[in-house]
Chains A and B, each alone.
Chain A
């Protein structure tokens, strides 16, 4: 009875007793969610265009961030380091397409998935060989200051991150809707063979989409890195992106954003209000449980296409 009380009733009383704090928790969750969204975005792009579930996205984030920090540590000016990192990510996309995707074309999804796990090992290993494995601080010149707005504590850095994410999404949306490459990407996403038959070069498209995913990874890496240092754990957020994708739908860009926000907020609320009663650290599995429950009711996700095979 006491346990039920503390799980079912007490947290809501806590919420009601201090709405400002609750709002802070929600905003904190939203801002973490933005980070999840950024990582999930890379997944969605690649999944849409090539049907590959790219487990290595987390490592691409780590790799991009490590490259940027490593270059900046060697005295390369910021803008040049950024440009060079981008070049590295494009080169990486080209290599992946040439050496991994092209020979594996037409294989089962699970084989491609395993190959991306192999890629994950390669990227983590090479990133750390090239730039060292200790935690690096990344300073992008955004002050990490807090201020209050109507009694709610806000963090300037988190707000900048949110704005960057929003800009990125708008830019991607424009890229997909208005440019010819974007149209080609969408065509490939819809139907590979039809796209090929109207003369869209599949290989180029794959390079482009992996490059864009690399770019998104770079942005995500900068944001995460500036917040909590560039380190190995960056690669692990790839796993957190999975439930985000389940919630948002595997094929939807807005879905990735909304899913990320929901997971971020849900996780924070669960941790702050329910965590103490069940022993804490429930952030680790809460997202997966949420996704699992969600799967029962809406397997295609919030915005995904209904392509999931029903049983």
Chain B
């Protein structure tokens, strides 16, 4: 009843090709974004810092990986390393040029990560699937080792960590120990919205279509005139750009200070989970997957207390791992196409509701 596109006629091509052609979708997305920007007014520090900011950052990383794995079909286990490149590049740029606007620094760090991504994407020209995963694993271990061993990357800091220096965007302090969670949240959200819309448009356009063509059948795509070299490297570059910005946000807007441990192989797997559970080849799915993976561990940690059970921490951690793993298996069995598919089904149902016949 509320979700029907009947009567919405398109009279121009521009209207017909809009990102959200249905009016209700546009309203929904706009309302969601406005509500998201108003959240700091009601949410407390804990929610922003422990739940919402990581959710935004992981959403961006998941979108980045989804562009590569979901749209271009190249499996990558090096997401953590690419995020680390973004984080360390931001740190170096920001400490080297303190007057540079943080947004510009983020973008430059993204470009640096894109360059690194291209280098490690080169094997994808000859190999794919799990073989490619091993090549990206090489990136994962090598890059983190490099950041640990070469003091230049962390300014020879004796603790070996990188710290986000205090920086301002539009007069608000958004990083450093004194920045409020609200300011950091709003900046992270703004970045996610801009990059999310950009991603949505990239995948609808020529580039995104060439990625999907390569993913579905590379030989056919090549015969149609899509150059595999440029297309795949472009996918690696754009994906790494997103992951790099996400990594930069991770240290500047969320953790504040960190070392390479935060970017280890588990991070790569987590982001991959988000992409798979959210749905391969879906921007909205990436965001929903990120929400799921961020929220479930928090829920599992707090659930026993809520029902009045008190179990030892070690047991709880292991139980958490079991439930988490089992949920992933269960989810893959029930809906291998992820949240994006569930969302699609829900929309189909909603269209006919409440008179299905």
A residues lining the B interface (CB < 8 Å) = 53, 99-100, 103-104, 107-111, 113-115, 117-126, 128-129, 133, 239, 242-243, 246, 250, 278-282, 284-285, 288-289, 291-292, 295-296, 299, 308-311
Query: 15 A–B contact pairs at CB < 8 A?
Result: A104-B332, A108-B336, A109-B129, A110-B280, A113-B130, A114-B276, A115-B332, A118-B325, A122-B321, A122-B325, A125-B322, A239-B265, A285-B141, A289-B138, A309-B129
Counting contact residues on chain B (CB < 8 A from A), the size range is 35 or more
CA separation between A111 and B280, bound complex, in Å?
A: 10
Does B169 interact with chain A (Cβ within 8 Å)?
no
Query: Are A104's CB and B322's CB within 8 A?
Result: no
Interface string of B322-351 (1 = CB under 8 A from A): 101111110011001000000000000000
Are A129 and B333 in contact, CB atoms less than 8 angstroms apart? no
Closest residue on chain B to residue A56 by CB atoms = B325
Expressed in whole angstroms, the Cα–Cα distance for A133 and B326 within the complex equals 20
Complex Cα distance, B148 from A279, in Å, reads: 10
Interface-side segment among B27-35, B119-127, B171-179, B203-211: B119-127
* Interface residues as binary, B264-281 with A (CB distance below 8 Å gives 1, 0 otherwise): 010001001100100010
If A122-B329, A125-B318 touch, whether A295 touches B336 (CB-CB below 8 Å) is no
Question: How far, in whole Å, are A111 and B135 apart by their CA atoms in the complex?
Answer: 20
Chain A residues positioned under 8 Å from B123 (CB to CB):
292, 295-296
B329 CB → nearest A CB, Å: 4
Beyond A110-B276, A129-B315, A239-B137, is A311–B127 a contact (Cβ under 8 Å)? yes
For A124, what are the chain B residues with a Cβ–Cβ distance below 8 Å?
318, 321
Closest residue of chain A to B273 (Cβ to Cβ) is A114
Q: Report which of B141, B272, B319 forms a contact with A125, defined as CB distance below 8 A.
A: B319
Chain B residues with CB below 8 A from A133, complex form: 314, 318
Chain B residues with CB under 8 Å of A100's CB are: 329, 333
A-B pairs, top 9 by smallest CB distance, nearest first, are A121-B325, A125-B321, A118-B328, A288-B138, A285-B141, A125-B322, A122-B325, A279-B149, A125-B318
Contacts of B125 in A (CB 8 A): 311
CA of A308 to CA of B131 in the docked complex: distance in angstroms? 9
With an 8 A cutoff between CB atoms, is B75 at the interface? yes
Q: Mark B124-155, 1 if CB is under 8 A from A, else 0.
A: 01111111011101101110010011100000
B134 with A121: CB separation less than 8 A: no
**B214 closest partner in A (C-beta):** A311
Which residues of the other chain, B, contact A282 by a CB distance below 8 angstroms?
145
Q: Which A residues are CB-close (under 8 A) to B148?
A: 281
Q: Which residue on A lies nearest to B320, using beta carbons?
A: A125
**Contact of B228 with A by CB under 8 A:** yes
The residue in chain A whose Cβ has the minimal distance to the Cβ of B150 is A279
Residues of A within 8 A of B314 (CB): 128, 133
CA distance A121 to B332 in the complex (A): 15
The distance in angstroms between the C-alpha atoms of A295 and B145, with both chains bound, is 22
The 8 Å CB contact of A284, one of B145, B218, B320, B321, is B145
Shortest beta-carbon distance from A38 to chain B in Å = 19
Bound CA span A285–B141, Å? 5
Specify which of A119, A242, A243 lies most central, judged by the most chain B CB atoms within 10 Å of its CB: A242
B residues less than 8 Å from A284 (CB atoms)? 141, 145
Chain B, residues 226-250, CB within 8 Å of chain A (1/0): the string is 0010000000000000000000000
A122, B322: Cβ atoms under 8 Å? yes
In the complex, what's the smallest C-beta–C-beta distance from B297 to chain A, in angstroms? 11
> Residues of A contacting B142 with CB < 8 Å?
285, 288-289
Q: What is the minimal beta-carbon distance from A266 to any residue of chain B, in angstroms? A: 14
Determine the chain A residues whose CB is within 8 A of the CB of B329 once the complex forms: 99-100, 115, 118-119, 122
Residues of A within 8 A of B273 (CB): 114, 117
